[in-house]
Structure 1
Amino acid sequence: MISSQTMERQQASSLGGVDRAEPLLPLELLELELSLEGYSGGEGGFCEAVRKAATEARGEFLFDLPAAGLVEDCRRIAVLRIPTSDKNMRVVLTLLDQNGTEIRMQAPDENTEHLVRFADAFIEVLERI
């Protein structure tokens, strides 16, 4: 069970936190997902394709990492920060499937919310530098 303090911290995060009331993929991310449609660059071109799509959506590519043990049937996870319609920033995950042929978007959930906390800390470090 998530405490009210933890939920408040998640809601107040500079990254938009994990709001379980929001749909899995908000409308403002549809364009981002469509820009990645038809990807066939394999693992090697994943970061470049996701970075370009994030930039075109006025977002930020934060980092990527191997997906092993975090999300089933995926090879890599890229963590992005994307603007929402209300001018806030939202963290989304971009997943490369196990075959390296398809990219899909996913909102953080209870299995990946630690990535949001890590991304929040990552942003804080960068802002201090």
Structure 2
Amino acid sequence: MIAPGLASGTQARSPRRADHADPLLPMELLELELSLDGYDGKSDFCETVRVASAKAGGELLFDLPAEGLMDDCKRIAVLRIPSSEQKMRVVLAVLDHSGTEIRMEAPDPATAHLARFAEAFVKVLERF
């Protein structure tokens, strides 16, 4: 399910649905979202996201604990996936607190710093 959680603090974010009219969550996320839909919490989160993003033509950049970044989840994986504009887009795969569901999110104001860090991370790697 593509749905946001709570931002740091207590503000709720509005839902972001994957459709071609929403530039924040393009149709490219549909394949990735569907491949993560059956996650049961028994498999390794990072490896599951890595495999799913590769199948969608993307890549896992890094994952990190969500503590202090997002209140409603356990881990966050930062991915780059192809977008319809012939470039790569940064998105987040978020593991819920129970560790049994992964949802996709576009960076919003509360997580924009992760997207900026990911883009800087990619630029550094490209220089090597």
Q: Give the TM-score, by structure 1 length.
A: 0.78
CA distance in 1, matches of 2:126, 2:25: 28
What percent of counterpart residues are identical? 68
Q: Which has the higher helix share?
A: 1
Corresponding residue for residue 30 of structure 2: 30
Matched, 1:39 2:39: yes
Structure 2 stretches of 5 or more lacking a match? 1-20
CA distance in 2, matches of 1:86, 1:79: 20
Once the two structures are TM-superposed, the CA of residue 118 in structure 1 deviates from its matched residue by 0.6
3-state SS in 2 of match to 1:91: strand
4+ residue runs over 6 A deviation: none
Corresponding residue for residue 58 of structure 1: 57
CA distance in 2, matches of 1:57, 1:70: 26
Greater Cα radius of gyration, structure 1 or 2: 1
Q: Matched residue pairs, number?
A: 108
RMSD: 1.6
CA distance in 2, matches of 1:88, 1:126: 17
Structure 1 stretches of 5 or more lacking a match? 1-20
